[in-house]
Structure 1
Amino acid sequence: MEKVAQSVARSLPTDAATTISMVRYGNVMCSRGSAIPLFMRQIRSGRPISVTEPTMTRFLMPLRDSVALVHHAFENASQGDLFIRKAPASTIADLVTALKELFEVPDHPVDVIGWRHAEKLYETLASGQELASGDDMGDYYRIRMDTRDLNYKAYFSEGDRETSHFDDYHSHNTTQLTVPQVKELLLTLAEVHADIEAWKSERK
């Protein structure tokens, strides 16, 4: 979809009234794709917390940061820009430990069920090749649209000697949160607060 959007952006005149840009980020905490609500349900129901691989890392981005990313794109985008919000990460093991401590169930069982099909050890948000031509904007990366004309010689007889070497940006090499830091971040989420309070009421 990013390529489709950039294809349209590339076809627009330079004075177009519409600016097309994109945002890219990992899972939003407590969203539909997040494991956090599942882990909380398993704690509250007394079932073991199901973990595929404890050493996996995932970006931890609250909804407010994903909204801020969209606002940043609105305010700073040029035609075809892609914006990435930098975010910390943690291992799944530390995330589970943080939730167990917040719910005051340190001995709650954990069931390591093994890798699921196509599951990744870490999430990659930007390749080194993208970052080589991008801008570091502090809390964000801007990846500029490639506006070069398609040149098939580059695939057969020519290359680019002026390449820079960057590492990919992924959840293994971003800032890694400790268990206390994960707990602090979780406590900023209304959904986590609500589940903890409901859990306390159920146990009275």
Structure 2
Amino acid sequence: MQNKVILITGGTGSLGKALTSHILTNYPNVKKLIILSRDEQKQFQMMQEFPENKFPQIRFFLGDVRDSQRLVRAFEGVDIVIHAAAMKHVHLAEYNPDECIKTNIGGAQNVIHAALQTNVSKVVALSTDKACAPINLYGATKLTSDKLFVAANNIKGVNPIKFSVVRYGNVMGSNGSVIPFFLKKRESGVLPITNPEMTRFNISLQGGVDMVMHAIEFAWGGEIFIPKIPSYRIIDLASAVAPNCKQKVVGIRPGEKIHEEMITSSDSFYTYDLGKYYTILPTVPNFKIKDFMDSFSAIKVTEGFSYNSGTNTEWETTESLRNLIKEHVDSNFE
């Protein structure tokens, strides 16, 4: 990271801001950090949080990943691209499919093409558990995006660029996620529960940042990195946020799953255990699998292995969720 130029698409989002803080704190000698997003109001607000007189490395660049020419201009002189821009709300994607496809698939293609046309050396794209065996449009677009970034390693020719993907579950406290929603709804005395059997994977913002940094440092190109993280039951989360509130079952929203997956049994043929993370390697890698296994002490998972939030072996409790909310979401949480 030292003396590198880094660009974050969707950089004004929750993870973008967490990455910005992490990079500026831990890599003060970064040459330049460019925040690219299409929302001028969010950029204005982020400028107040990261003023240029205190952080002279930071730059703000208005642009949309749908605009390929703008991306080529933005990527000039950039070493590392972190692609975090996406439409991510499942139910909104169901009702606005064209918009979701333009951003999540067309945007991914534009990022790849712009990176190949410039001197970018590494691209890390953010994915989601909903891209695994998708049943909704959002998940299908992110699966397509993942496939595009993995395949980009085979169309780059002699270009030494490396494309990789990080996939994880619900980011605790991110914009539009369930915890801030529950925190706001508890004032009403009733928390809406979509389905009492529902489970989700849970990762902190810092956990998401750590995965991106891992991919930047260690990716060989084409990997989908997946963290080993706990699950929680939605009713336990509701009890953690508001133990005195009534829980009202309202039914699942369009495109929602009861449980999420991050690795299917079909993925198991290409999945390796790296210790802290799993990785799904490309079906046609441009490196030797044995060399990869030797370098990372990687162990191939058993055939038929799957990683599902409902059958996970590690679980958050109501008490642990309360502690995590206080630590990662709201320090004044009671």
**TM-score of Structure 1 vs Structure 2, range by shorter chain:** 0.7 to 0.9
Question: C-alpha distance in 2, partners of 1:193/1:70?
Answer: 25
Unaligned runs of 5+ in 2: 1-144, 286-301
Which deviates further from its counterpart, 15-24 or 75-84?
15-24
Question: 5 Å matches for 1:149-164?
Answer: none
Q: 2:252 aligns with which of 109, 115, 125?
A: 115
The answer to whether the 8 Å contact 1:25/1:66 transfers is yes
SS of the equivalent of 1:97 reads helix
Deviations, residues 169-204 of structure 1 (Å, cap 9, x unaligned): 111122122222222222211x3224x37xxxxxxx
Q: d(CA) in 2 for partners of 1:35 and 1:19?
A: 34
2: CA distance, partners of 1:61 / 1:135: 20
Residues 1:10 and 2:154 are matched in the alignment:
yes
Find the counterpart in structure 2 of residue 165 from structure 1. Answer: 303
TM score, norm. by length of structure 2: 0.49
**SS in structure 1 of the partner of residue 162 of structure 2:** coil
Q: Is the 8 A contact 2:270 2:283 kept in 1?
A: no
RMSD: 2.1
Q: Which runs of 5+ in 1 are unaligned?
A: 101-105, 149-163, 198-204
Distance 2:151 2:235 in 1: 41
What residue in structure 1 maps to residue 168 of structure 2?
A: 25
Structure 1 residue 181 corresponds to structure 2 residue 320: yes
Q: Which is further off, 22-31 or 64-73?
A: 22-31
Q: Where do residues 70-89 of structure 1 align in structure 2 (5 Å cutoff)?
A: 70-89=212-231
Higher strand share: 2
Asked if structure 1 preserves the Cα contact closer than 8 Å seen for 2:270 and 2:282, the reply is no
Partner deviation per Cα, 1:89-130 (whole Å, 9 max, x = no partner) = 110011111112xxxxx3322211122222111111111222
Q: What residue in structure 2 maps to residue 136 of structure 1?
A: 273
Q: 166, 169, 181: which one pairs with 1:38?
A: 181
Shift of 1:38: 0.8
Deviations 1:48-78 (A, max 9, x none): 1111112200111110000001011111111
> Aligned residue for 1:55?
197
Question: Taking CA–CA contacts closer than 8 Å with sequence separation of 6 or more, which of the two structures ends up with the larger relative contact order?
Answer: 1
In 2: Cα distance, 1:66 partner to 1:80 partner:
19
Q: Distance in 2 between matches of 1:50 and 1:98?
A: 14
- Quick check: 1:27–1:33 contact (8 Å CA) kept in 2? no
Cα distance in 2 for residues equivalent to 1:23 and 1:184: 26
Q: Distance in 1 between matches of 2:223 and 2:303?
A: 21
Identical aligned residues as a percent: 31
